[in-house]
Amino acid sequence: MIKIKEINFQGIKQRFQVKKPWDDVIIFILNILIAIPLFIIVHQNLINPNWFLNIDRVVLFLVMIVIIQIILRLLRTIILFCTILYLLVLIYGSTIGNYGFNSVFEDYNSILYTMSDNPYPQDIIIAKLLPFPNKSKIINAIEYQNPKIRNFAIMATSKHFKDVKGYSDYRTIIQCFAVFKEINYRWNYVSDPKARDYIATATESLLYLSGDCDDHSILMAAAIKSIGGTPRLIHTTGHIYPEILIGTLTDLEKVNFLIKNVLFVNESNKQKLHYHVDERGQIWMNLDYTAKYPGGPFMSEEILGALTLD
């Protein structure tokens, strides 16, 4: 009886075993993909002895490669089976579903880009695994196609910065800043009911321009999107705030001049702009309800998730 089980196990093992040298190739690729983000975490959390040519970091990376390679080889059969299954799922996602090879590449690239410039890179991986709170409710609440939201945004563009001339390439951003000014200068912060996260729609918050941080973010995102801007919502610990897509670093220089010399001269006097750079090198500027000008100080630096409305 024992021999039959052994024969069956060996048969199953051989059936799913990848032939050489492809098994070694797959394991080596997995090794590199795992080692790079793991090295970033270890590198950021270890004291740097500042050896010549950073030899200590080179040795660290090589040691990690060897250790991971040994572990992967010990778990060869299980890992190869899971890898094949994973590839089949991605093939399905690329052809029929919504998540495929390109999505994996973008997510991996995003993790590496963000981790490399973060003092606590392990938090980035955790953040990628955390769901955006109330995502479906928030998306539904951003009623950017509602005529009331668009009419409000148009009113704001007629009220603020209407006479600013000579910046046609940045007309949409200027108009979005007009929306920011109208909302933030009139916003009244009102807390949710105790022990309950109340998600108000954009039109509901528009009625009295009141609510908490997620209500403000929803209204800001809806109004900005209704006139052609690209907003996104950032989730931090106990807080959500909106950002707007500015563009490249060159665009940031122009927008910086506009904010400090044309649009928000007094509010931004001797102040710096606060923004994030995403994995594609695009600039996103803070529009939190606590800010008196676009790019005002962050209420919270930590990022646990982002919801882009493109």
- For the chain, what is the total number of helices (H) and then of strands (E)? 12, 7
Helical pair 122-129 and 101-116, crossing angle rounded to 10 deg: 140
3-state secondary structure of 163: coil
Structural domain span for residue 14: 2-119
Closest CA to 245 of 259, 255, 257: 255
The residue with tokens 């665009």 is 251
* Shared domain check, 112 and 171: no
* Shared domain check, 210 and 71: no
- DSSP-derived secondary structure for 195-214: T------HHHHHHHTEE-HH
Structure token pair of residue 214:
């997620």
Question: Count of alpha carbons within 13 Å of 133, Cβ hemisphere only?
Answer: 16
* Shared domain check, 257 and 197: yes
With respect to residue 220, please indicate whether it lies within any of the assigned structural domains.
yes
Q: Is the pLDDT of residue 304 over 50?
A: yes
pLDDT score for 118 = 61
| Residue at a domain's end among 95, 119, 143 | 119
Mean pLDDT computed over 187-194:
94
pLDDT score for 2 = 47
pLDDT score for 100 = 76
* Shared domain check, 295 and 153: yes
> In angstroms, what is the C-alpha Rg of the chain?
25
* Shared domain check, 205 and 98: no
Q: How many CB atoms lie within 10 A of CB 203?
A: 16
pLDDT score for 262 = 96
Average pLDDT, the chain: 85
240: CATH: 3.10.620
Q: Is the pLDDT of residue 136 over 50?
A: yes
3-state secondary structure of 297: coil
With respect to residue 6, please indicate whether it lies within any of the assigned structural domains.
yes
With respect to residue 125, please indicate whether it lies within any of the assigned structural domains.
no
Whole-prediction pTM value?
0.64
Q: Is the pLDDT of residue 216 over 50?
A: yes
With respect to residue 127, please indicate whether it lies within any of the assigned structural domains.
no
* Shared domain check, 114 and 260: no
| β-bridge partners, 294 | none
* Shared domain check, 115 and 139: no
Structure token pair of residue 107:
């997510």
With respect to residue 68, please indicate whether it lies within any of the assigned structural domains.
yes
pLDDT score for 15 = 58
* Shared domain check, 174 and 69: no
Least confident of 61-75, 82-96, 109-123, 293-307: 109-123
SS3 content of the chain, % helix, strand, coil (to 5): 60, 10, 30
3-state secondary structure of 26: helix
Count of positions (residues) in the chain: 310
With respect to residue 128, please indicate whether it lies within any of the assigned structural domains.
no
Structure token pair of residue 256:
């910086």
Are residues 303 and 127 in contact, defined by beta-carbon separation less than 8 angstroms? yes
* Shared domain check, 271 and 220: yes
Number of domains into which the chain is organized: 2
* Shared domain check, 179 and 55: no
Residue 4 banded pLDDT, cuts 50, 70, 90: very low
pLDDT score for 222 = 98
With respect to residue 129, please indicate whether it lies within any of the assigned structural domains.
no
Mean pLDDT computed over 206-217:
97
Side chain identity at 134, as an amino acid letter? N
CA gap 23, 34 in Å, rounded: 17
Closest CA to 235 of 140, 131, 137, 125: 131
With respect to residue 130, please indicate whether it lies within any of the assigned structural domains.
no
Mean pLDDT computed over 247-260:
95
Q: Is the pLDDT of residue 121 over 80?
A: no
Q: Is the pLDDT of residue 7 over 50?
A: no
| Residue at a domain's end among 51, 85, 119 | 119
- Could you give the angle at the alpha carbon of 281 between the alpha carbons of 279 and 283, nearest 5°? 110
Question: Count of alpha carbons within 13 Å of 31, Cβ hemisphere only?
Answer: 22
| Residue at a domain's end among 72, 95, 119 | 119
- The model's pLDDT over 99-119, given as tens digits with 9 standing for 90+, comes to 678 777 776 776 666 666 566
* Shared domain check, 175 and 60: no
Percent of the chain at pLDDT > 90 equals: 49
* Shared domain check, 265 and 144: yes
pLDDT score for 77 = 78
